[in-house]
Each structure stands twice: as C-alpha cells, then as structure tokens.
C-alpha cells in the first residue's frame, strides 16, 4: 500500500528562525513545506506551488502579509485557500485589516505548539473540502468554471444576462479528429471569447458548461450595452465568430456557433438551453430567448397534456381503428380497407393521428398503440371476409414487442393472414437495413402482402421497389391531388404506374378527392382508388350499394362486424 501523499504548507515570515520553529512544531503531521521571506516572495511561491494552507506573518519587508493576502485573494485559484496570519500584533485595527484582506484565522506570537497543530489540521480539512468543491465546479479539460459553478453564480444574481453558445458540429470534430483536437478547439474558443469581450470593454465571466458549450455571464449588460438591443448584439456576436479561424496543430478550422442571448429569468440557464435547442432544430444561427421562451413553454405544456391524453386513452380503451375503403377500378367495387388509428377523447371527439401520434412517440406510447391496432384488426377481420391493410413504420418493424404480437396473431389466424396487407411507411430513415429485410422475409412466410405506402415522398424510391418487390405501390397524395390539372404530376404518376406494372406490382392512387381526379386515375390505368371521393374513414366497414362512379354518402352502407 502506497504512502499517503504529504500536504503542502507555505510559511511566510521574514525571520528564518520563526519559520524553523513552525516547521519543527508541525514535523510529525505529514506535511511538506515551502518558505518565503517576504510578502512578494510568498505570492510568487504560492502561485507556482499551489499550497493547501498558507501561514503568513503580518509584518514583513517588501510587501507585508496584509497586502500579500489581498493579492492572493484576487486570484481565482486562491479564493478558497485557508490563510492563517501569525503575528505579535494584538490591536483590533490590525485584525480588522487582516480580515478585510481575506485572512481566515489568527495565531498570536508566541504560539502554543498544540494550538498550531490543531489549527493546521482543521484548515487542512477545509482545504480538502474546498478542493473537492473546486473539482466539482471546474471543467477538467479547460479548467474553466462549469455548469455547477454557473448555477451557484446565478443563484446569487438577479436580472442578469447570459450568452449561451454551442460550437456547431462539435461532436463531428470530436469523432473525426479525436478528443485531443476537440479540447484544443474548446480552449482556443474560450481564449477567443475572453479576448473579444475584453475588446468591447465588457465585464464578463466565462463558463464551460458542456462539451462544445459555453456561457458568458455579463456583469451589467443593460449598462454596458445600452446602445444595442439583444437581437442586434446576438447577430453581431454570431457574425464575428464566423470570421474567426482557429489553428489546430497543422490545419485551420473555421468556427461557427449557435447562440442564445437570455436575460431576466429565474431559470436562466434552463430557459437558454431550451431556446438554443429550438434554434438548432429550426436551423437558426442565433435566438433571443425572451422572444420565444413563452411560446416554447406553451408548446411543451401542450405536448405534456397530449402525452397524458394518449396515456389515458390507452388505459380507457379509447384507441380505435377506423377503416377507409379501397376501390378496385377494374371490378367497380370496394375490395379492401386500410386501417387508420383514431383517438376518441373523453367528450367523444375523434382525433386523427396528426393530433396525437408525435406526442405518443415522445411519451413512448407509439409502439403500444401499434400493438392495440394489430389486436383490434385481427379481432374484426377474423369474422369478415374482406382484405385489410395495416400501416407499419420502421420503429414497429424493429420492435420485439410489435413483432411478437404480429407474428403470434398471424400464426394463430392463417386465413386472416392471407387477406392482410402490411403498408410499410418510409417516413423516417432505416437504421438497420438487415432488420428491415428480415421483417419482410418473415411476413412473406404467412402469405401476407406488402405495400409501399406514400410512394413519391419521404425516403421511398424506385430502387426500394426493386429491393422489396412489393405487391402494391401506393402513389402519394402529394402527387395525386394535382393529377387533374398538372402535367408534371401526370407524367410522374404515369411513370410510377408503368414501372410498377412492368414488375407485376399493382398500384393504388391515394387522396382521390373529386371526380376529375378519379377519372384521370382510371384513364391512366391505376388499379385501385382511395380517398374521400370514395369514402371517408369510418369506424364501420362501408361498401357501395349501387353505381361505382357515384360515391355520395347516401350510396354507402356499413358492413356488420359484430
């Protein structure tokens, strides 16, 4: 087991004999010592060696102990260092002067050995506590005050202003160039910030709050920058940073940063972080928190309320399937239904996914909703001899919970499986293509048909059609809605239809809203039609009573499902 590291004490006294006596008194206490013969020398040695405790004589040549203490207390690294003044002075004015300079305690000459030992032990413990505090309040790489230090400072200040800055693409720098270069970039950026604000004669404190993130706290922004508003200052700072080029070893790095200026809030750092997240998401180079925070907080509260609404709807079985008919253009009849999720509010209002699905994802209820829909579709269509389609996203396909539920029900209901189509939503990037391909292969084992949904938007493309080899391609409504009056939409639709048919894939036109679009769909030879012109989504299955080109509500009837 290694020896305990000795703590360092600086003894400053102009008499060598006094220094020797103090060292002799403390020789059994596992300390090491450095010595200074005057106040100036004490300051220099303290800066160089960073002792845990300082014992300072009051009266010394060149610089006395009082001025030496005062000089040390102006330095950030000595604001918490215990300093004991040992002196023959006993008048009250001298003690007051020492306290004002920053002395922690006094020992009067001639001192008692045990008193000196106990005082040093006590203040060495305080030094240890201070060291832990300093470690917790400083970034280990830049040695700048960190988020903890910022929060402590903000607790003591009112009506202050901060600038929160995040270096753009900092994680990429860390990943591509390595941690060493990332730390070099941070240190250079800090140096630049301090220099820039000094050039503006601004009194600031700088904090390193996270990797690539910094906060500048203005001592009195309203006084120092009364000639400029927050928005203009934010813009000026951003443009100045863009001009800065940092030399990192052998290459130059053009720095840019997203900035948030914030002021006057009880939760200043939290609000600024909230606002800068919004700026980054919206690809804004800078943002003034006070202009957006109320709106952002209102949106957050609304999202929380929506998540609660989704949770309660799941608990109370108010997540329900609606069905929109899909019309077979060749047969002139409805042959299939697409399942669409709906949330029924407590007052009976029915909400489409637009109003709750994002909240469900944020609250981790999305996959639960998918499993509910799968269960309810099987409950209905095991008794109804019609084809049915269910929408699945990549999140669903990658979820063990969803897959276990789906494959279990397909195994138990082979007749329903043969009438089922899975519509694959490609509204988000696929993280693992192997997972996607494995899912397709698995569902094919149950004779389930596959459709690519919303083709012509998002991540879908012709290459994807060849990879998946689906049974159906559903042409996105953003193309179909212009089909009757836009030549480019017609050319694109015709190309998708021709390409799909050449591979033996049937096509579906989505969002057909009127007769003109419907007639154009039939003219182009698209196989199926879906949209409000045929029928709106309904909680019951609807079918046509008569003429297939007249789709008014009075010509629809519901199919019994119970």
In angstroms, the CA 271 to CA 288 distance is 11
- E strands within 280-403? 286-288, 319-328, 333-344, 350-351, 387-392
Pick the CATH number of 316-559 from 3.40.50.970, 3.90.1170.50, 3.20.20.150, 3.20.20.450: 3.20.20.450
For the CA atoms of the chain, what is the radius of gyration?
A: 37
How much is the pLDDT for 431?
A: 66
Per the CB < 8 A criterion, the answer to whether 492 and 456 are in contact is yes
- What pLDDT sits at residue 290? 72
Is CATH 3.30.70.270 what the domain over 147-298 is classified as, yes or no? yes
Q: What is the DSSP letter of 2?
A: P
CATH topology of domain 7-136: Rossmann fold (3.40.50)
CA distance 65 to 87: 10
Model confidence over 195-250: pLDDT tens digits? 888 888 887 889 999 999 999 998 777 666 655 777 888 888 999 888 888 877 77
What residues does each domain of the chain span?
A: 7-136, 147-298, 316-559
Assign residue 543 a region (left: φ > 0; alpha: ψ between -120 and 50; beta: otherwise).
Answer: beta
CA torsion angle 307 309 313 315 (round to 10): 70
- The 10 Å Cβ neighbour count of residue 404 is 11
Distance CA 206, CA 150 (A): 9
Q: Which among 363, 350, 369, 353 is positioned nearest to 305, based on CA atoms? A: 363
Those residues of the chain that have pLDDT short of 70 are: 1-5, 89-91, 132-136, 158, 222-227, 426-431, 458-460, 544-562
Helix/strand/coil (H/E/C) assignment for every residue in 180-205: HHHHHHHHHHHHHHHHHHHHCCCCEE
């Amino acid at each position: 087991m290694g020896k305990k590291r000795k703590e360092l004490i600086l003894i400053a006294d102009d008499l060598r004999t006094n220094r020797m006596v103090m060292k002799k008194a403390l020789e059994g206490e596992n300390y090491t010592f450095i010595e200074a013969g005057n106040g100036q020398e004490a300051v220099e040695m303290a800066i160089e060696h960073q002792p845990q405790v300082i014992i300072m004589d009051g009266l010394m040549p060149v610089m006395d102990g009082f001025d030496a203490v005062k000089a040390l207390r102006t330095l950030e690294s000595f604001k918490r260092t215990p300093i004991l003044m040992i002196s023959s002075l006993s008048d009250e004015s001298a003690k007051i002067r020492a306290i004002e300079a920053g002395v922690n305690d006094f020992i009067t000459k001639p001192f008692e050995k045990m008193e000196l030992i106990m005082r040093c032990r006590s203040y060495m413990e305080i030094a240890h506590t201070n060291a832990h505090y300093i470690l917790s309040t400083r970034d280990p790489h830049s040695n700048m005050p960190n988020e903890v230090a910022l929060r402590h400072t903000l607790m003591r200040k009112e009506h202050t202003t901060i600038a929160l800055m995040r270096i753009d693409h900092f994680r990429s720098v860390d990943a591509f160039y390595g941690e060493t270069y990332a730390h070099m970039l941070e240190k250079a950026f800090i140096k630049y910030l301090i220099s820039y604000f000094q050039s503006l004669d601004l009194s600031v404190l700088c904090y390193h709050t996270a990797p690539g993130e910094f906060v500048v706290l203005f001592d009195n922004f309203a006084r120092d920058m009364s000639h400029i508003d927050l928005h203009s200052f934010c813009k000026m700072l951003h443009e100045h940073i863009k001009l800065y080029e940092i030399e990192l070893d052998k290459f130059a790095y053009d720095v840019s940063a997203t900035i948030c200026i914030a002021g006057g809030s009880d939760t200043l750092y939290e609000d600024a972080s909230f606002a800068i997240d919004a700026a980054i998401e919206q690809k804004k180079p800078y943002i003034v928190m006070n202009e957006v925070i109320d709106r952002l907080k209102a949106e957050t509260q609304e999202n929380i309320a929506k998540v609660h609404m989704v949770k309660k709807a799941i608990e109370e079985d108010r997540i329900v399937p609606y069905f929109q008919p899909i019309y077979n253009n060749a047969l002139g009849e409805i042959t299939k239904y697409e399942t669409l999720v709906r949330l029924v509010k407590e007052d009976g209002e029915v909400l489409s996914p637009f109003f709750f699905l994002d909240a469900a994802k944020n609250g981790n209820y999305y996959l639960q909703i998918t499993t509910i829909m799968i269960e309810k579709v099987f409950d209905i269509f095991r008794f109804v001899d019609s084809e049915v389609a269910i929408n699945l996203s990549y999140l669903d396909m990658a979820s063990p919970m969803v897959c276990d539920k789906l494959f279990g029900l397909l195994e138990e209901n082979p007749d329903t499986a043969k009438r089922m189509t899975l519509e694959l939503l490609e509204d988000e990037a696929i993280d693992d293509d192997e997972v996607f391909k494995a899912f397709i292969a698995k569902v094919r084992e149950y004779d389930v048909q596959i459709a690519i949904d919303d083709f012509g938007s998002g991540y879908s493309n012709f290459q994807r059609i060849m990879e998946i080899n689906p049974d159906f391609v559903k042409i996105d409504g953003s193309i179909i809605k212009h089909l009757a009056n836009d030549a480019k939409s017609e050319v694109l639709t015709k190309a998708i239809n021709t390409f799909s048919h050449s591979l033996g894939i049937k096509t579906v036109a989505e969002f057909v809203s009127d007769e003109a679009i419907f007639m154009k769909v039939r003219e182009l030879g698209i196989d199926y039609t879906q949209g409000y012109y045929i029928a709106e989504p309904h909680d019951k299955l609807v079918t046509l009573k008569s003429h297939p080109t007249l789709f008014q509500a009075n010509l629809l009837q519901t199919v019994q499902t119970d």
